[in-house]
Amino acid sequence: MVFLDKRYATLLEVCLVSLLLTFVGWLREAYLAYLKCSMFWHFGFPAFMMLIVLLAITLPKRSFRIYGFLPRSPRFTLKWSSAFIAIFILPAAFSIGMSAALGVAKPAGLSPLSIILNVIFYMVFVGLVEEAYFRGYVQSRLNEVFERRWRRLIFKAWKVDYGMSLPLTSIIFALMHIVNYWNPIISRWEPAWWMPIHILGAFAFGCLAGALREASDIYVSASLHGGIMTSYTFLSIYTSDLILSISLFISWFIFFSLLAVFFHESENPGDLNQRVGGSLKSRIQSLPETY
């Protein structure tokens, strides 16, 4: 009975913190609605979310490694983070370039500075910060009280240890996307026919990102999250819906084709270090001796 109480208390904790962030987000939108846009407020809310994450880890003296902030294998994290970013960014860049060359690109008129700021915002203040909160704090906190009893994720080749913390985190992640349509502070309720698809898609992505985090750390899932948001944003700005759909389809096809390899390598991430070190050592040994 005590164990059940602990699980419910932990779930209540992460839900209350998530409600606090939702309320702050509503206040931010209300402020922007009445006092107009300010770059500070666009970056301020993600910074506040990151502050909450850091306080939730440091104040109770929890481990940054257990919460996914310190990679088990830096080489593994760097390899797959770079791969997931490239899988979405390169097809998007190619699609935008081809659209511009064929003269069908939209005249967005973004300055180089605006492009850089958008990339930083979606890669860092959306991808990294949201993954630090949901997959770093929420999922790791729930992992402390929910046993990771399952091993297989949909397909046989997708092997990763996970438990109820993964779907619960994904539900919280999906429900918080309702703020895109509802803000009671300013009496905004703007439902659309795609709203259920958006919420279900957020849940599915949450499960996928949660699996990546369980197999590695928050930086791999953050790279995927940021890469998707960055590519989608620039594709929607510069290209048509058809080109956007084709580009993202290609990216997702490549991603899912490599996912089994990712999960296989994640079982022994240290092997990557040994392969790299062994390869370097063999190359050194094969060099001719000089006198």
Q: Which of 263, 209, 219, 269 is CA-nearest to residue 72?
A: 269
Tens digit of pLDDT for each residue in 217-239? 999 999 999 999 999 999 999 99
Spatial separation of the C-alpha atoms in residues 138 and 101, rounded to whole Å: 45
Tens digit of pLDDT for each residue in 142-182? 999 999 888 888 888 899 999 999 999 999 999 999 999 99
Asked whether residue 280 carries a pLDDT value surpassing 90, the answer given is no
Confidence of residue 197 (pLDDT cuts 50, 70, 90): very high
Position 221 scores a pLDDT of 97
Mean model confidence pLDDT for the chain: 88
Conformation bin of residue 103: beta by default, left when phi > 0, alpha when psi is -120 to 50: left
Q: Which of 236, 237, 211 is CA-nearest to residue 224?
A: 211
- Looking at the chain, the whole-number percentage of residues with pLDDT higher than 90 is 72
Confidence of residue 89 (pLDDT cuts 50, 70, 90): very high
Asked whether residue 275 carries a pLDDT value surpassing 70, the answer given is no
Asked whether residue 61 carries a pLDDT value surpassing 60, the answer given is yes
Confidence of residue 104 (pLDDT cuts 50, 70, 90): confident
